[in-house]
Amino acid sequence: MRKSLMAGIVSAALFASIASAQTAPEKKEVLSNGGLLHSLLAAPVPGQPYSAVQITRNNQKLADGTNITHSGHHFVARDASGRVRVEMRLANASDGQPETILVFVTDPVAHTITTWVTGPKANKLASVVKVPAEKSTTAKAAPAQIRQDNRPQPIITTEDLGTDSLQGLPVSVVKTTTIVPAGRSGNDAPITKTHEVWTSTDMKLVLKEQWEDPRIGERTVSLEQFSRADPDAALFRPPAGYTIKDALQSLKELEEKLNQTQN
């Protein structure tokens, strides 16, 4: 029950984000890095299938030399039609039971996003929401509100580091360096942070990103166990035995369940 509610809440939040992005007056192109929101918002890329595991690693070194590390991973796949599947782990495998996974599939041909949960306590329900084929052109941009900021402004520079190779693919590498001047964030000396991006132009895919900031340490997001084979078509549809419902109906039922838990 709790995992179903969690899955519904996560789905609702993502549907709202996607709807907002689709109706925005101006939409910056998003390239997928295998992450959930990036994958769902990125423009369709037919003819360039792949599957991979996105791995996130965080490392922070404290002043006393202690290293704190965290990592996470999830599966992502894109087929030749441009459909994308992204997984989010809700619970790890335990006591001989498989892990519980929330699955998202975006279909650029049907203009739908479908979600369902797999695992020992899955409710065998798939929710489908229709998304606009194109973003709205009727929305007008709100007047920009200029807020005066008397603090020292960051200095941002971008450097083209040329080409490299990752997962057997040629990639372009770009490094952005930001210098936070003294006094902007309570700092008594400048802070330098960097962001490097490895991008496959042919696949419209970010294969690796790395952030370095002395305040929080190093964070790396990369696509590993990479394959360019067209994934199994079964990955992009709900498993047999699942009931398919309109997302609006599912959200209404979710609201009723949330009201019941509060009473």
- Give the strand pairing for 67-78 and 205-213: unpaired
Name residue 135's amino acid. K
Round to whole Å and give the CA distance between 89 and 17.
20
More confident residue, 12 or 38: 38
Helices (H), 55-137: none
pLDDT score recorded for residue 254: 67
pLDDT score recorded for residue 90: 87
| Burial profile 15-53: b = 16 or more Cβ within 10 angstroms, e = fewer | beebeebeeeeeeeebbbbbbbbbbbbbeebeeebbbbe
Round to whole Å and give the CA distance between 16 and 19.
5
pLDDT score recorded for residue 140: 57
Q: What percent of the chain has pLDDT over 90?
A: 59
pLDDT score recorded for residue 24: 46
pLDDT tens profile 228-247: 999 999 999 999 999 999 87
Residue pair 236/83 in contact by the 8 Å Cβ criterion: yes
| Closest of 172, 205, 218, 198 to residue 49, by C-alpha | 205
SS3 225: strand
What beta strand segments (E) does the chain contain?
50-61, 67-78, 84-91, 100-107, 112-118, 125-130, 155-166, 169-180, 191-200, 205-213, 217-227, 243-246
Question: pLDDT confidence of 22, banded at 50, 70, 90?
Answer: very low
pTM: 0.79
Does the structure show a pLDDT above 60 at 3?
no
Residue pair 76/56 in contact by the 8 Å Cβ criterion: no
pLDDT score recorded for residue 120: 82
Q: How large is the average pLDDT for residues 34-53?
A: 91
Residue pair 116/242 in contact by the 8 Å Cβ criterion: yes
Round to whole Å and give the CA distance between 117 and 91.
11
Find the range with the poorest average confidence among 64-78, 113-127, 212-226: 113-127
Average of per-residue pLDDT values in the chain: 84
More confident residue, 15 or 229: 229
Alpha-carbon distances of 3 from 34, 96, 254, rounded to whole Å: 23, 18, 12
Find the range with the poorest average confidence among 38-52, 92-106, 181-195: 92-106
User: Sheet containing 155-166: which strands, arranged edge to edge?
Assistant: 155-166, 169-180, 191-200, 205-213, 217-227, 50-61, 67-78, 84-91, 100-107, 112-118, 125-130, 243-246
Q: How many residues does the chain have?
A: 263
